[in-house]
Amino acid sequence: MNTFGYLFRVTTWGESHGKAVGCVIDGCPAGLKIDHEFIAKEMQRRKPGGIFSSKRREEDVVEILSGVLDDVTLGTPISILIRNVDVDSSSYEKIRTVFRPGHADFTYWAKFGIYDWRGGGRASGRETAARVAAGAIAKLILKRFGIKIFGYAKEIAGIKFRVEDPEKAFEISEKSPIRCPDSEMEKLAEEKIVEAIESGDSVGGIVECVAKNVPPGLGEPVFGKLNAYLAYAVMSIPAVKGVEIGRGFEVSRLRGSENNDPIILKDGKIRFAKNDAGGILGGISNGEDVVIRAAVKPTPSISKEQRSIDWEKMEEVSVSVKGRHDPCIVPRAVPVVEAMVSLVLVDCMILQQIVPRKL
């Protein structure tokens, strides 16, 4: 299960502390102009930097090895390489036989009888660099059809951010070190992160992603619903523990008359007066903004002492995880959520034959 997608298929490969990570994109239409500057910018959005993220210094330079000629896609598999240039496994050596709480160490060991103790291997957030690279290709396709993707932090450490316009929120958040779209609450959220750092702990939050100009009709009835596909995609991101569409869990406290979106005519087109459904009805897009949120857990790698097991000695131990880790994953998770949403929309548009084999 290292491959995602039906017709627009992405296979990621590589480990956190291996020589490189990367992906192979199959099913990308021919004739797409590759904007290398745009792809580089997307990679920069995910890479660490500043006091609120990991001190690991990866350049995340994308090398396209196949599928492109003269900066135009050929319709053949696109292979992408992203080298790991700042690997340091020394902090993991001392705890290589100890399962880290909150990580996938034990579950990988239970499944395979072995696991990559060097930063989590495939379960590491490092794997998402390949997703963002593939997502950048998907975004270039979406741009051709006027579809825009906006992601930002909606909540960090319990501090909720006010958002009135997704596009404006995106612009504000891109200037914020924690991708906060609410300048009034930004300092408070930053203080919460600093408090966690000083106590050897971490915090979580919520990422919101909005896709604008999505055509109606995307998604398949019953088991191929667009909302189900989006949930599957976003839930596959490391550290994501929950997903909601539109008003999400809040609808469980509403009446039908409050939750239903009135259907109206606007400029001669069928539209919806509000968008509590998050752009999806019956599992099929309705032409309104697609709105999805992801609950991101606190970073499990913390220096605070925790209880665990040394599997070699089969005894309980205390463990403190050292190394270079994000005190809050939310800011760097934003472009990853955007990438997965983009991959889903492109795949559905190809399935719907909106995107041709040759652009």
DSSP notation for 118-186: TTTGGGSGGGHHHHHHHHHHHHHHHHHTT-EEEEEEEEETTEE---S-HHHHHHHHTTSTT--S-HHHH
CATH class of 3-351: alpha beta
Terminal-to-terminal C-alpha distance of the chain: 29
Contact present, 186 and 180 (Cβ < 8 Å)? yes
Contact present, 122 and 15 (Cβ < 8 Å)? yes
Q: Is the pTM of this model over 0.75?
A: yes
Any idea what the Cα angle at residue 156 is, between residues 151 and 158, rounded to 5°?
A: 135
The percent of residues above 90 in pLDDT, for the chain, comes to 91
Whether 59 has a pLDDT exceeding 90, the answer reads no
130-184 confidence digits (pLDDT tens) = 999 999 999 999 999 999 999 999 999 999 999 999 999 999 999 999 999 999 9
- What's the CA gap between 333 and 275, in Å, rounded? 25
Contacts 24+ apart (CB under 8 A), 168-175: 173/334, 174/45
What is the model's pLDDT at position 325? 84
As a whole number, mean pLDDT of residues 50-78 equals 91
37-46 confidence digits (pLDDT tens) = 999 999 999 9
